[in-house]
Amino acid sequence: MRIHKLTDLPWQLQADISEMGEMRAGLTCPECEGGQSKEQSLSVWRDKPFIILKCWRDGCGYLARVPVDDGWEDAKIGQHMFKPRVYKGNLCALNTGLLKWLDTVYRIRPDTALAFNLKRVMGRRALYFPVLGPHYEERGGVLRYYDGSQPKAVSYKASAQPWQAWFLPDDIARSNRITAVIVEDVLSALRCHQLGYVSIALLGTNLSLEKEREIFREVYGPVRLALDKDAFQRALRYARRNSRIVPVLLDRDIKDISDDEIRERIDG
């Protein structure tokens, strides 16, 4: 059995542990990362004075413990442990060519791109997407490379608030008449925003309890979870956790299909 400090674990796992009561299951193992299928095979539970971590995936067998004292709640992930990471490169406004490219390839209208302050990176084939909260507070941004660079997307978190990007159509967005759509990436969220939905980009596939709580504080209407096809099983698990979440099965990414197909999937 391995012994870790809480801060030795991946950031998201630290956050998940900080939100748990006596036990959590369905987390990502820091050793095998779920294998090729990205199975959520890690369980975590209290066994004072430790937190025990065990992966149940065949072929892994990861087992570890984290010593914690009775005041461990004070050491949970929070503002005092957060270290902001701010992008310091040169950003400038989108030019006509990029606005046309976004419209042609992803059907993101120029007025939408400008309204949410998308930027281009000087000297690189890359875009910078600001990450805004539900009250338009800036939480950082995502840099997306289109020149083959790896990793192709890099997050710059300026705030310890939930790492998800909100796109609200107007002041009635919180009405129970408006459907909210949760997607993986900013471009898919912008597509849904243009169709009048409340749109939230998870900036990945992880819908943590922290993110979920924020969504259901702000959203009163129906909620659709439209992750990419390869993450549909994960969407089903989130739906079992919260009955207000309705998973949407997609054949292709939202940013790659027509407006009519989006409406059919979300409203059908």
Rounded to an integer, the average pLDDT of 224-250 is 91
Residues 64 and 122 in one domain: no
- pLDDT at position 134 over 50: yes
Give the pLDDT score at 169. 74
Q: Which of 127, 132, 173, 162 is nearest to 146 (CA)?
A: 127
Q: Which two tokens stand for residue 11?
A: 């950031």
Give the pLDDT score at 78. 46
Out of 17, 47, 81, a domain closes at 81
Residues 253 and 128 in one domain: yes
Position 132 in a domain:
yes
Q: Which residue has the higher pLDDT, 171 or 20?
A: 20
Residues 198 and 112 in one domain: yes
Residues 137 and 250 in one domain: yes
- pLDDT at position 6 over 90: no
Number of domains comprising the chain? 2
Residues 37 and 127 in one domain: no
Q: How far apart are CA 146 and CA 9, in angstroms?
A: 31
Position 120 in a domain:
yes
Q: Which two tokens stand for residue 225?
A: 């979870």
Range of the domain at 6: 2-81
CATH number for the domain harbouring residue 8: 2.20.25
Residues 108 and 166 in one domain: yes
- pLDDT at position 194 over 90: yes
Position 86 in a domain:
no
Q: What is each CA distance from 189 to 32, 53, 105, 144, in whole angstroms?
A: 30, 34, 15, 15
Contact between 245 and 238 (Cβ < 8 Å): yes
Rounded to an integer, the average pLDDT of 61-86 is 66
Q: Which residue has the higher pLDDT, 5 or 121?
A: 121
Contact between 23 and 43 (Cβ < 8 Å): yes
pLDDT class of 111 with cuts at 50, 70, 90? very high
Out of 61, 81, 101, a domain closes at 81
The rounded mean pLDDT for the chain is 86
pLDDT class of 174 with cuts at 50, 70, 90? low
**Percentage of the chain modeled with pLDDT above 90:** 46
Residues 223 and 99 in one domain: yes
Q: Which residue has the higher pLDDT, 170 or 68?
A: 68
Residues 55 and 113 in one domain: no
pLDDT class of 48 with cuts at 50, 70, 90? confident
- Helical residues (DSSP H) of 49-155, grouped into ranges: 96-106, 110-115
Q: How far apart are CA 58 and CA 201, in angstroms?
A: 32
Residues 175 and 137 in one domain: yes
- pLDDT at position 118 over 90: yes
pLDDT class of 175 with cuts at 50, 70, 90? low
Q: How far apart are CA 152 and CA 145, in angstroms?
A: 5
- pLDDT at position 44 over 50: yes
Out of 25, 55, 81, a domain closes at 81
Residues 163 and 202 in one domain: yes
Residues 210 and 258 in one domain: yes
Give the pLDDT score at 77. 45
